Amino acid sequence: MATAPAPLSLSASTLPARLRAAAVPAGARGRQPRRWRMVVRAKIREIFMPALSSTMTEGKIVSWSAAEGDRVSKGDAVVVVESDKADMDVETFHDGIVAAVLVPAGESAPVGAPIALLAESEEEVPLALAKAQELANGQPQQAAPAPAEDDAATPPPPPPPTPAAAPAPVAAGTKGIASPHAKKLAKQHRVDLAKVTGTGPYGRITPEDVEAAAGIQPKPKPAAVAAASAPVAAPSAAAVPQAAVLPPVPGATVVPFTTMQAAVSKNMVESLAVPTFRVGYPIVTDKLDELYERVKPKGVTMTVLLAKAAAMALAQHPVVNASCRDGKSFTYNSNINIAVAVAIDGGLITPVLQDADKLDIYLLSQNWKDLVKKARAKQLQPNEYSSGTFTLSNLGMFGVDRFDAILPPGQGAIMAVGASKPTVMADKDGFFSVKSKMLVNVTADHRTVYGADLAAFLQTFAKIIEDPESLTL
């Protein structure tokens, strides 16, 4: 009669803590005992391309802060990524060694794609390099751990059904990873990220996951609305002419768009689907120029004075601060956030002066100085360039007397400000005088703003500019 073998005991001294031993128990009485198999799972984690903004679909690696072979700790910045608006540091969520860089500086990768491999220890660096080679060769990643040498000749058992039944594929070591915006929301709403199931790429926790865990009603997605009304929107989309791809001119040089330029191009094309109209208004600026000369030594710019005046006028005409996001309703914004167009090297960005109606011109000037500095360095955070409710574009410093601005997607109006120039004017009694006058043109979404609304707003704006002492209150 066969006797069952004594149970095998694996103590901490036998195996390191990070190794997992999977034992196959002996067979029933009368059967030959099976071999004990040890399966080793290496801790190799992937660093993913994060979504740094709601419109970002891919990112470009600007530089690696950590080189291959460097040991990093959780929270360390390892790479600088260029999104469609700014350059941002990306931190690691785990301790380890940067074993392999999959996407070198200067190249791009889609959101959610692995850009580097992180090994837990030096012993696992060769395994990470082998995995990097597999990814480079286009070989599929093995979700199941590699078997021991004893089982190399036998086919591996079928994978357990649990991963196949999961709602979304989750790469090893990525469960619980949250995007920077999701982490910020979790802190605001006191949500434990460890209890949140991610629905993003590779199991990443998205801001929507955090809002759902906090019990916040999700906002209607424009994409879903557009999909539901596709038959109606189809004629409008077809009406927009698509630019033909023309052969290059002999001797010309073709330079691809940067990430930011591609985002600007995309937004400008999207704006063609919005029915807009334009209204111009002349404004006397003699008193505004006098105020500017008084406050200029204190660091107040003309841009800040115009933004403050626009915010005060918007407070009296909230419909101009509203927008149409679904094609069938008004979205009234509780805050008045003035986005101001700024030209930077290789593109255009709109830093936002938040709550411009509630702050005085001196605090606004300090905020604006900080925003411009960060914009030039491409270090703006998403909420600092994507939260505008009204946009101001000023070309007056270049001597431009008038121009039209293109309405940004998601806003109701944008104001284009020209230069203030001496102009001969006649008063109501027929007497001539020379006064400084500037022209402003406002482009508005005709679905939410009508001609009378915009005219009334411009009248209020002109009164504030022509009697600007209220700007200093």
- Residue in the structure block whose two tokens are 């008038």: 402
Q: Which of 94, 189, 317, 446 is flagged as catalytic? A: 446
d(CA 458, CA 291): 20
- 446: annotated active-site residue: yes
Q: Starting from the edge strand earliest in sequence, which strands make up the sheet with 87-91, in order?
A: 87-91, 77-82, 58-64, 108-110
Residue 165 dihedral angles phi and psi, to the nearest 5° = -90, -5
Q: Residue 24 has which token pair?
A: 């196959």
d(CA 102, CA 64): 11
What separation in angstroms does the CA of 91 have from each of 112, 138, 186, 350, 469? 15, 27, 17, 26, 47
- Residue in the structure block whose two tokens are 């199941």: 144
Element of type H or E holding 425 = strand 421-426
Tell me the sheet residues that pair with 282. Answer: 439
242 closest CA partner among 272, 275, 262, 277: 272
Residue 422 dihedral angles phi and psi, to the nearest 5° = -60, 130
> Other C-beta atoms within 10 Å of 400: how many?
14
**CB proximity list for 54: less than 8 A, separation 6 or greater:** 382, 386
> Other C-beta atoms within 10 Å of 133: how many?
11
Say if residues 5 and 24 touch (Cβ distance below 8 Å). no
- No. of helices (H) and no. of strands (E), the chain: 11, 17
d(CA 414, CA 403): 12
Element of type H or E holding 189 = helix 180-189
Q: E-assigned strands of 245-337?
A: 276-284
Give the active site residues.
446
